[in-house]
Chain A
Amino acid sequence: MRARLRLILPLVVLAALAAAPFLGFDSSFAYTVLSRAMILGMGAVSLSLLVGGAGLVSMGHAAMLGVGAYAVASLDAAGVTDALIVFPVAALAAGLFALLTGAVSLRTSGVHFIMITLAFGQMAFFTASSLSALGGDDGYTLYGRTEWLGTRLLENRLAFHFICLALLAGTWLLCSALLDSRFGRVLRASKENALRAQAVGFPPYPYRLVAYTLAGAICGVAGALLANATEFVSPATLAWGRSGELLFMVILGGAGQLYGAILGALAIVLLEEWLSHLLEYWRLAFGPLLILSVLFLRNGLAGITAMPKRRRPSGKPAALGQEADA
């Protein structure tokens, strides 16, 4: 039953996103907000793979987003704008960045891991700020979106909406498959009990490094989309606040479920828009709302749907991402 709910809810959310343009949400403003939510949702899902699946709380995930976005900008500066080149390059660049920084970061754990990923994120931020060829602090304006086989497909708002949606759905399916695979089983076991995984012959490091690299590559694709959505790339894309925002989407949505990250991204982006229209000092209301959600939604938004009929006997909060229904 719960297994079915886990499938139905994300499908409902994705269907709602697919239907949105035909239900009156087709203003340029609505498109902007929704695509932003879906793109950050992709990044959050890839982060959720690390947090919920591998127990790796990265505070530098926005750097992957930034590497993907800057790949678009630097290719644009070089005159390359075809999606078949741009998107793979964005994924590879972010994956490579994740591989190199992960190889070092994953030697640490716990708070040290958080700090070292933050440090690498800041390194990427300051590198981007000093890239004078790409505008440095001022950023780089794209005068056209990435092209698809010579057509300006991505500039069609409806098409771009569905490209974002398809990539979001693909990200969710891919990450779910990863967690269910042999690889994912080792990852999940290492998160819950690393000693156990080692005792049967699995050193956690290589599995974590591969997961970190894959999550980076996926987030790189999201970054390339983000550059296209805003038609502008600046160091703000990879500021550390963005990393925190992604992490918050994962936690608000519920790290125990990958689709929780989608719910979290939608909730935060929509709430931000709504509150900023309602109140001038909307951040004053945003903060307490986030605190309340953490206090009362122990398993995140995804946890509401999977409300247990009975509480867990030990009263312990469910370990992140431990779902393993037989």
Chain B
Amino acid sequence: MLEALLELRGLRKRFGGLTVTDDVSLTVLPGEIHAVIGPNGAGKTTLIHQISGTLQPDKGAVIFAGQDVTGWSFPRRAKAGLARSFQITCIVPGFTALENVALAVQARSGSSFRFLRPARSEAALNAAAHAALDSVGLGQRAGVMAGSMSHGEKRQLELAVALATEPRLMLLDEPLAGAGPEETERLIALLRSLRQRYGILLVEHDMQAVFALADRISVLVYGRVVVTGTVEEIRAHPEVRSAYLGEDEMA
């Protein structure tokens, strides 16, 4: 049995009277894609926030690579190898694609309290950034302003940025949201190529993508993990059908 890369122990979060995360425990193993699915408002993004450190849980612990990181800030967790992407595209629009990625490379290679040398001409930063862009298929678009890229390209760019931090675990919050069918296919192929190398916690609405990619799936309903299992187990689970898949069919 592999040691879990990420372990959530009894996470709880309340917003006033509303319990958005209710005693959530789950693990992500190295090289595993663990998908979290659930209807709208189930608390998926809130869960991601607590894992990445943008929100503090009221109770419970986040264990990352054997360390309790519950009290750590968002940037500190990112530095430790916990990368996240955002549901709403999060890039620096006024930077080129290359500079967006180079910023991430810079975070893990030496101090950024360097004041006089132009960062743009640091060959080591640029080379690593180019490599990350190539790996997501944006190699030709390095010089383009990130703000003027297509939506799908921005999603790819976000992945390149996450990869460039050399993470151990990636938290992907709806990486396919808003992407067209072609872009979706490309992104799924890309995510598939990333499995094994990183642990991935994937939150996604596109069920086909989830069933194609995930090793294990947890179903979140009203902040609670209803069931965790393999793709087949989830497909067959009666409670899941009624709570989530059924609802989807009616919609």
Contact = CB atoms under 8 A, between A and B. Distances in A.
Interface of A: 177-178, 180-186, 188-189, 192-193, 195-203, 207, 210, 313, 319, 322-324, 326
5 contacts: A181-B114, A193-B93, A198-B74, A200-B104, A201-B165
A193 B91 contact: yes
Nearest to A205: B75
Contacts, number: 117
A207 B99 CA distance: 18
Interface stretch (B22-30, B117-125, B193-201, B222-230): B117-125
Given A199-B74, A201-B107, A324-B99, 18 more contacts: A177-B115, A180-B118, A181-B114, A182-B106, A183-B112, A183-B115, A188-B92, A189-B95, A192-B94, A196-B91, A199-B84, A201-B108, A202-B103, A207-B112, A207-B113, A313-B148, A319-B93, A324-B94
Contacts of B103: 185-186, 189, 196-197, 200, 202
B211 interface: no
Query: Quick one: which of A196, A197, A199, A322 has the most chain B CB within 10 A?
Result: A199
Contact of B112 (A182, A319, A323): A182
Given A192-B93, A195-B86, A324-B96, A177 B118 contact: yes
Contacts of A186: 103, 106, 112
Nearest to A324: B95
Contacts of A195: 86, 90
A196 B165 contact: no
Interface of B: 52, 73-76, 78-79, 83-84, 86, 90-96, 98-100, 102-104, 106-108, 111-120, 122, 142-143, 145, 148, 161, 164-165
Contacts of A182: 106, 111-114, 117, 119, 122
B96 A185 contact: no
Nearest to B117: A181
Query: Quick one: which of B102, B113, B142 has the most chain A CB within 10 A?
Result: B113
Given A189-B95, A210-B113, A313-B148, A201 B90 contact: no
Contacts of A313: 148
A29 B181 CA distance: 70
Contacts of B91: 193, 196
A323 B117 CA distance: 17
A47 to B, nearest CB: 18
Given A193-B90, A195-B90, A202-B107, A185 B119 contact: yes
Given A177-B118, A199-B84, A313-B148, A183 B113 contact: yes
A183 to B, nearest CB: 5
Contact of B114 (A183, A189, A200): A183
B75 A203 contact: yes
Contacts of B95: 188-189, 192, 322, 324
Nearest to A210: B113
A62 to B, nearest CB: 25
Nearest to A204: B75
Contacts of B145: 324
A318 B97 CA distance: 18
A201 B78 contact: yes
B119 A184 contact: yes
Contact of B107 (A188, A200, A322, A326): A200
B165 A180 contact: no
B96 A181 contact: no
B92 A193 contact: yes
B83 A199 contact: yes
Nearest to B116: A177
Nearest to B106: A182
Contacts of B164: 200
Nearest to A197: B103
A198 B90 CA distance: 11
Contacts of A188: 92, 94-95
Contact of A200 (B86, B93, B116, B161): B161
Contacts of B79: 201
Query: Quick one: which of A188, A192, A201 has the most chain B CB within 10 A?
Result: A201
A196 B95 CA distance: 12
